[in-house]
């Protein structure tokens, strides 16, 4: 499914059952990340993390909550900094977990450190209401 259509609901072409909007974090490599930056029409939360990072593991359920609760209104990407070192360097990720909000192909917010889902949702909702961000 094209990135621009991920937040939409649809119908399965084969069985005609309804298909919900994506409601879970999406693991992103450089190609997918670039496509999202270019094509996403809704705010995107990016979680930079690593498997060895305790706070990252603590943040994972919070990130999943955001994806579930804002399905159709925002996309949530997870970028493993061990596997996607180029992305981590590109965005100068110095500590993890680190979060970023992208809107219309631009980074509009970035913060490192463990935060709760409510705070992440606030970032996304604030960015969604900002004109031309």
CATH code assigned at 18: 3.40.30.10
User: What is the DSSP secondary-structure string of 76-92?
Assistant: EEEEETTT-HHHHHHTT
What are 119's two structure tokens?
């705070």
45, two tokens: 């939360």
Is there a catalytic annotation at residue 12?
no
The residue annotated as part of the active site, out of 22, 56, 76, 79, is 56
Q: Average pLDDT in the 14-25 region?
A: 78
CA angle 22/109/62 to nearest 5° reads: 45
Residue 8 pLDDT > 60: no
Among 4, 32, 50, 53, the active-site one is 53
Look at 1 and 67; give whichever has higher pLDDT. Answer: 67
**Structure-model confidence comparison of residues 70 and 16, the more confident one:** 70
The residues, any chain, with a CB within 8 Å of residue 76's CB and separated by 6 or more, are 24, 25, 26, 44, 45, 46, 47, 63, 66, 67, 70
* Nearest Cα residue to 117 out of 51, 50, 69: 69
- Domain span at residue 80 reads 3-129
Interaxial angle between packed helices 117-129 and 54-69, expressed in degrees from 0 to 180 and rounded to the nearest 10: 50
pLDDT over threshold 70, residue 6: no
What was the pLDDT predicted at 22?
83
Give mean pLDDT, residues 2-31: 74
- What pLDDT was estimated at residue 41? 87
pLDDT band at 87 (very low <50, low <70, confident <90, very high): very high
Question: How many domains is the chain partitioned into structurally?
Answer: 1
- Residue 30's pLDDT band, with cuts at 50, 70 and 90, is very high
Q: What average pLDDT score do residues 85-94 get?
A: 96
Q: Mean pLDDT throughout 58-69?
A: 97
pLDDT higher than threshold 70 for residue 4 = no
The band of 82, judged by pLDDT with boundaries at 50, 70 and 90, is: very high
CB-facing half-sphere around the CA of 20: CA atoms within 13 A: 9
């Amino acid at each position: 499914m094209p990135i621009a259509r991920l937040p939409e609901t649809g119908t399965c072409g084969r069985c005609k059952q309804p298909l919900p909007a994506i409601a879970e974090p999406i693991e992103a490599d450089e190609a997918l990340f670039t496509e999202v930056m270019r094509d996403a029409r809704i705010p995107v939360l990016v979680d930079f993390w690593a498997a060895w990072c305790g706070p990252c593991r603590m943040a994972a359920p919070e990130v999943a909550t955001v994806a579930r609760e804002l399905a159709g209104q925002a996309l949530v990407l997870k970028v493993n900094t061990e596997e996607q070192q180029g992305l981590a360097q590109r965005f100068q990720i110095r500590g993890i977990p680190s979060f970023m909000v992208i809107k219309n192909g631009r980074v509009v917010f970035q913060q490192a450190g463990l935060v709760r889902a409510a705070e992440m949702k606030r970032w996304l909702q604030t960015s969604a209401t900002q004109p031309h961000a």
